Structure 1
């Protein structure tokens, strides 16, 4: 790729359609969604088809061994509905089990990301099927929805540039995690290697899994031969996951959490998702505006003042997340109190125009993203005025890297998000869901109409990305593509400090936060941030994938005529495609 990769002169224009848009990181996945829309399916049906196709075309980021979350905007009732498709820890697994197996019985703070104990029940297939049954159009079958992905797996497809690069970067991990297998027999590799751009690949084992799921629904995954293959693999590495853990898995339809921001409503999946982080950050920004500390409508976009505001308010949001994001079936989470004006106004007092917040100001450190960008976010709209905001992930590149060879997929490592501090928020417990980074989002207008369906994958980049896209569109009037093209920041903890074992995964016991800035931010602004006390680092070229990949569909209807505007990530292979 040329040295001017992803320069901030947009390579794309915003896409418009009155019938629907599919926006994802892979062109062939977009095509799968369009096939289903053309068959009469709705945005949910098409989103599932996109999810399945991405498991083939971008397997380092997502797969049938991972999790999913979704938001669905239903135009006829002006509702935003939510689904948590996250899996749970093995019921028989305890913190002591992990200590015994990995550390001679002695305490340790986290489950290593390459440990078999990082594998929790994969929730994606349950999420696909349950959203299809609950929200689908009824005009296409589940078999039809999965057929485009099955065709890709059986007949093959050429690999795009950035997908190929991420795939190759995971080769070492996959070989390390499957030492008992001949590299040429590992189905997620091609003759023991990762593909190059344009290479033509197939994956017949995963085609067989998808056929079983297509014909039997979620029971084709959580029972029978696929489930048995999963447990055979986890048993071989000493896990305590059982067939019962799989067969009793359930998705959860949830009431999304929301926050009123400048006459718009921002919607997120509730904990154990980290959408609360984004809403707290936006809430603090709004309180600072209300109190006159800042003026949202006078602050210059991408200025020093703007970036300092975003960075500091996101820190405050992450602090709340460390304290409050966990499985609500195990923890009492006072979301309403946290998002109240009174509480947010109190939190806003932590902000200073002339000072940088550090972990010691909170008592609990800020999460570390560790460059976790292996997730796929995508969004679909349809001719009904409905939209689906969908995210599917295996967490790290190819998840745990542990392959289920009979069916050609890797198991995710989402359990690494737990901590191993007994009694702490988000500590590991049997049957519990971990702190989850993947978050789809929606924005609605005061009258309940859709404003935008959007997301920005990338581990702990995600809530920061959500804050940026809300500000870009709502305050600065950006089109979807302009918002996506705009440079970003990401927060990263100082990993030289020891892990406290609190909150989400990654070393979080730091008293300072590194600020990663994307090439395209004015060097004078970078200097000002550094002089104030921010520990800054500018990322260029391929390293800019640290800032995740966004997709946005905005409702720009006028005069009673339905019109969508779509934007897609210049840091990814895909596009926004109009029906």
Structure 2
């Protein structure tokens, strides 16, 4: 369970060994970590439609590896999350008695997908190989077949209304996705026009029935933005700015960095302090997070929230405020470039809507919008919803790359990464130890996207093997035991050791994940 893989000059980690292998092939052909990340993600878009795909969104952090012999480098952030269509009408949803965005089977919860724009922007800035080469493994698998994974087989029936999925019944069965193959070929030959103005784009306009207009698909959705950063455990930890919830990870890390942690994560006080940091960071997320939010991780705010932590008892957070599924992958190349990329449908297969010509299922990231009139994250034309996607990247004090890390997990993503990063940086654990160790999460028994609806009612859900239950109960936490791997994310991590050797781990919870290197 504590398997750390080592490599000398390049590594890729993902939830699927077929995808990781495609990424490593790009490195073997002289491609960059960006090429490897795109190739890996493209294969996942074929083999793991229950986690991600061309109908979803994408965020990425990139460390460029420096240049001219410098160890330091720069970190950039890519926001390729889509915007609601021009037909977005919150009043109509409220008139239909909706108080929250529809979770399933409603096109209004599917903003224009941004993943393909993300691939193209990442490739344009950091790619070395032709896009046709990068997408070739995914095209081959989509056109000629891939063995259905044990993760996809039990749930493929959710999209049985499309012929690609109707016959899927067992792991190992050969599955083809001809529409996805055509779409990938169109992207390889014609760029974004082949996707947004091609077969998929035309089908999306028809399926939207007024939710989108052609101009919505003509405007690129990917933006290079300024990443957020916090100093913790002697390192700089980077994540995405809003509309991502990345600030929650950084805020909670900043809080924890100033607390007196016990020497081992096995102690219940460790789980208590990290859990309280997560609750204090996130209790007001619903009122704070929107695409234009700013100044969320200042030193003053970190100190203010850290002062709320009580090491002897669980805090009641009500009144403190004045007022999926997903897949993660990472790659590092021999030149020191690192890519931390996360791509998602939101919840499982997303909206359960499929563009019928291509068989591409659509995300439901629009569930992050508010239907409260006047809320800064209210559903409306051209707006980006609040996102759970939280990639992370860690640099040393000299600016050199230390780690790329991330996870799936809905609202729990910052909580999972808080534990993994603290184990890695504070306690010196190997990637395999930090990734495979039992976790806690703030649970509600709901959708996985409703943690902050009532933060005082959350339960500390503990994975099988965690020894914190009695101690947390004594500190006032309601606790519940959960089977190992049930809803605790698929985290992956590549760590650059001081001598340049790469140490990586794919989450054993993914069952078919792979960290492979060269």
Q: 1:189 aligns with which of 156, 159, 165?
A: 165
TM-score by length of 1: 0.85
Contact 2:289 2:386 in 1 (8 A): yes
- 5 Å-filtered alignment, 1:38-437, equals 38-77=28-67, 78-100=73-95, 102-103=96-97, 108-137=99-128, 140-165=129-154, 167-168=155-156, 171-172=157-158, 174=159, 183=161, 186-191=162-167, 194-235=168-209, 240-287=211-258, 289=259, 294=260, 296=261, 298-328=262-292, 333-335=293-295, 338-363=296-321, 372=324, 374-437=325-388
Cα distance in 1 for residues equivalent to 2:56 and 2:396: 33
CA positional deviation for 1:375: 0.7
Greater than 6 Å deviation, 4+ residue runs: none
**What's the C-alpha RMSD, in Å, of the aligned pairs?**
2.0
CA positional deviation for 1:351: 1.3
Give the secondary-structure state (helix, strand or coil) at the position aligned to 1:276: helix
Cα distance in 2 for residues equivalent to 1:340 and 1:234: 41
How many residues are aligned here?
Answer: 511
Contact 1:417 1:505 in 2 (8 A): no
Is 1:578 the equivalent of 2:517? yes
Cα distance in 2 for residues equivalent to 1:85 and 1:334: 19
Which deviates more from structure 2 when the two are superposed, residues 312-321 or residues 61-70?
Answer: 312-321
Q: 2:483 aligns with which of 536, 540, 551?
A: 540
Evaluate the alpha carbon distance shift between residue 99 and residue 242 of structure 1 in structure 2; reply closer, same or farther with a 3 A threshold: same
TM-score by length of 2: 0.94
Aligned match of 2:70: none
CA positional deviation for 1:510: 5.4
**For residues 464-511 of structure 1, what are the alpha-carbon distances to aligned partners after superposition, in whole Å with 9 as ceiling and x for unaligned?**
111112111111101111110111111124769xxxxxxx76771453
Aligned match of 1:500: none
Give the secondary-structure state (helix, strand or coil) at the position aligned to 1:265: strand
**For residues 70-97 of structure 1, what are the alpha-carbon distances to aligned partners after superposition, in whole Å with 9 as ceiling and x for unaligned?**
1111112511111001000112312102
**For residues 39-97 of structure 1, what are the alpha-carbon distances to aligned partners after superposition, in whole Å with 9 as ceiling and x for unaligned?**
21100011000000001111100010000111111112511111001000112312102
CA positional deviation for 1:354: 2.5
Unaligned runs of 5+ residues in structure 2 are: 68-72
Contact 1:154 1:204 in 2 (8 A): yes
- 5 Å-filtered alignment, 1:448-527, equals 448-493=399-444, 508-509=453-454, 511-522=456-467, 525-527=468-470
CA positional deviation for 1:299: 3.5
Cα distance in 2 for residues equivalent to 1:187 and 1:36: 32
CA positional deviation for 1:316: 1.2
Contact 1:495 1:510 in 2 (8 A): no
CA positional deviation for 1:349: 2.2
Evaluate the alpha carbon distance shift between residue 379 and residue 304 of structure 1 in structure 2; reply closer, same or farther with a 3 A threshold: same
CA positional deviation for 1:247: 1.2
CA positional deviation for 1:160: 2.4
Q: 2:397 aligns with which of 446, 455, 458?
A: 446
